[in-house]
Chain A
Amino acid sequence: MNTAIGVTGLRKKFGDHVVLDGVDLHVPAGTIFSLLGPNGAGKTTAVQILSTLITADSGQVTVAGHDVAADPDGVRAAIGVTGQFSAVDKLLTGEENLRLMGELYRLPKQEITRRASTLLERFDLVAAGGKLASTYSGGMLRRLDLAMTLVGEPRVIFLDEPTTGLDPRSRRGMWEVIKDLVAGGVTVFLTTQYLEEADQLADRIAVLDHGRIVAEGTAAELKRRIPGGHVRLRFTNVRELDTAARILANATADQDSLTLTVPGDGSRRALKDLLDRLDDAAIEVDALTVHTPDLDDVFFALTGHTTIDQEATLS
C-alpha cells in the first residue's frame, strides 16, 4: 500500500521547550489516521510541520511523495488543511470563498463554478451560499472551511481538531463527511482530543504525549493493551465499604464516594463470583456498575493524566 505520510525522527522545539521529541509515523494512502493527545501534546505543531507552515528542527517528513523541506510547493499542491480555527474570509460570501480558492488554484472559470456549486450542495450550504460568511453559525463555518479545503481536490487532508466547539449534531454531520472523503480515496490525518471521534473514524490511532508517540494501533488494539475493565460497587456506609475492601484484596476503596473499584472484565461469571462473596459476608451493595475499557482508559493510562478513579482502574 502506498505511503501518504511518512515521518521519521521528527523533532521540534520552541526555545527550550521541546514540543516534538522524535516522532515516527506511517500513514497508508486512503486511510484515516488519528493523532490523539491532550492539549499541549504537540498535535498542532505536528500538523503545522506536515502542512509546511513551519519547519522541523530535524527528521524526515514526506507527504504525498514530496519531501516537506526540499519540495514544500509539491506538498502544498497535494494537501488541504482545515485548522482549529476556521480559515474563512468572513467578508466574502460562502460561494465567493470557494471561488477564491478555485482562483488561487488557477482553475478555469467553468471548473471553479462547477466545483463551487457541487461543494455547496454537498455541504448543505446552497441556501447560505450567497450570504456573508460572518453570518454563518459555527457548524456552517466548519463545513464551509472543509469545503474550501476540498476545492483543490487534495490527496491528503489535514484536519486539526475539526469538531472542537461543535454541537453533537454538527459533530456527527462532520464525521459523515470525513468518512465519505476516505471512501473517495483521500488520506485523512486527523488530530483530536475527543476519544470517541478517533474511535468512530480512525483506521489507526497514535497517542501523542509530551512530544512522543506513546502508543499506536487500531482502536481495538489500543483497548486490548490495558486492563481497563472494572466493576464499581457503592455502599451505604463506611463500615460496609471497609469490610468489603478487606474481602476483595485487589480492590481500591474510595472513602468519600463510598465506592469500591474491583478490576475485572465484567463477565457474567466474574460478576456472580463477586456478588456471591459479598453475600457470604452479608454486605449490602447499594449500586453496581460495570465498566468496559474504552479509549478514555487507554488515553489516561498512556498519557498519565489520570483522575482518581482511573488510578484505581490501573492499580
Chain B
Amino acid sequence: MTTLTDSATMLRRNLRHAIRYPSLTFGVALVPVIMLLMFAYLFGNAISIGVASTTEGADYIDFLVPGILLMTLGSGSQTTAVQICGDMAEGIVARFRTMPITRTSVLTGQVAGSVILTMVSSVLTVGVGLAMGFRPTAGPVEWLAVLGLMLLATFAITWLAVGFGLASKAPEGASNAAMPLSFFLPLPVHGLRPAGVAAGRHPLVRRVPAVHADHRDAARVAGRRADRAQRLAGRRVVRRARDRRLPVVEEAVQPRPEPVGRAASAASAAPRSSDRSRPAYSDTASAYAGLSACSAAAPTFAADIAG
C-alpha cells in the first residue's frame, strides 16, 4: 500500500516536471508527429510509388502510422534517462533515500510518468494520422490488443532507459546511452517504407522486435483487404514451419525465387507481401513477449543499481 502511495506521490512530482519543463515534454510528444508529417509529405511521394505496386487498396499512410506509432514507444527514453540521471546528481534522491519511503517509488513514479507521456504522444500520432487520411480497419478488440502491447513495450523500454540513466555519470552521457532506444530501435521499422522491400530481409533488421510488431500492425491494416485464401495459406506456412521446428521468421522471410521481369514482379507483389507479413505476424507475439519479459526484469535490475 505504501508502495502505491509513494509511487503516486512521485508520479505527481514527475507530471509536474512535465508541465514545468514544457520544451522537454513537447519534444517527446511532438517528435513522432513531426516524423509522421515528414515521412508523409516530404518523402511520401517517392515511397508511396512502392506501396501502390505492392498492396491493393492500402495507402502509404496505412503503413506509415503503425510504423511511427512504434517509434513513439522509444521517444521518451532519452528524456527518462536524462531525468533520472539529473535526479541522482541533484542529491534529491539521496534525500529520498534517507526518508521512510519505498525506495523504488522514485523510479516507478518516473516510469509511470514516462509511459503516460508516451501514450499521450501515441494518441496524438494516431489523431494526426486520422486527419491525414489513415483509415484503420481494425476492430475495438484489436485496438485494445495494440494498446496493451504498446503499454508493455513502453514499460520495458522505459525501465531500460531508467537503467541507462542510473548507470550514467552525467545527464549528457545518459542521453547518449539511451539514444539507441529512441532511434536505432525503430529506424528499421517497415512502416516507413512499403512492406516487402528488400532491406527487410537483412538478418539484423529481422531480429529487431519492432520490425515484426510493425508487420503485425501493417498486416492488420493492409492484410484485411487481402484475399482470405491467402491468409489461410499464410497460416499454413507457419504451421509447416512449426512442424519442422524451424524458426518462424527465418522460414517466413526466406526470399523466394524472384520472378523474371518487372511486370511479373509487380504481379506477384501483392500475394508475396501479405504472405510474408502473415508469418511474421505470428512471430510478433514472441518478439513482444521477449520485450515484455524485459519489463518484468527491468525494475529489479534498476532497483539493484539504485541500491
Q: How far is the CB of B256 from chain A (nearest CB, A)?
A: 56
- Within B80-98, the residues touching A (CB, 8 Å) are 90-92, 94-98
Task: Evaluate contact between B20 and A81: CB separation under 8 angstroms.
Answer: no
Task: Evaluate contact between B16 and A87: CB separation under 8 angstroms.
Answer: no
Q: How far is B143's CA from A101's CA once the two chains are assembled, in angstroms?
A: 40
Q: How far is B20's CA from A90's CA once the two chains are assembled, in angstroms?
A: 10
**Interface membership of B5, Cβ < 8 A:** yes
The stretch among A15-23, A102-110, A182-190, A283-291 that forms the contact with chain B is A102-110
Q: How far is the CB of B282 from chain A (nearest CB, A)?
A: 45
Find chain B residues with CB under 8 A from A52 CB.
97-98
**Interface membership of A88, Cβ < 8 A:** yes
Partner of B98, one of A79, A85, A92: A79
A contact residues, total (Cβ < 8 Å):
28
Given contacts A53-B98, A83-B91, A83-B94, contact A91 B20 (CB under 8 A): yes
**Interface membership of B131, Cβ < 8 A:** no
Q: How far is B20's CA from A262's CA once the two chains are assembled, in angstroms?
A: 63
Task: Evaluate contact between A73 and B100: CB separation under 8 angstroms.
Answer: yes
- Within A71-95, the residues touching B (CB, 8 Å) are 73, 76-77, 79-81, 83, 85-92
**Interface membership of B13, Cβ < 8 A:** yes
When A and B form their complex, what is the total count of cross-chain residue pairs whose Cβ atoms lie within 8 Å?
A: 59
Task: Evaluate contact between A105 and B99: CB separation under 8 angstroms.
Answer: yes
Chain A's closest residue to B14 (CB) is A91
Q: How far is B98's CA from A77's CA once the two chains are assembled, in angstroms?
A: 9
Given contacts A91-B20, A92-B13, A92-B20, contact A76 B91 (CB under 8 A): no
Q: How far is B17's CA from A51's CA once the two chains are assembled, in angstroms?
A: 28
Partner of A96, one of B5, B6, B16, B92: B16
Q: How far is B266's CA from A271's CA once the two chains are assembled, in angstroms?
A: 111
Q: How far is the CB of B303 from chain A (nearest CB, A)?
A: 16
**Interface membership of A7, Cβ < 8 A:** no
**Interface membership of A264, Cβ < 8 A:** no
Partner of A83, one of B13, B95, B99, B101: B95
Q: How far is B98's CA from A76's CA once the two chains are assembled, in angstroms?
A: 6
Q: How far is the CB of A93 from chain B (nearest CB, A)?
A: 9
Interchain residue pairs A-B with the least CB separation, the first 9:
A87-B95, A87-B91, A76-B100, A77-B100, A81-B98, A91-B20, A103-B9, A85-B91, A51-B98
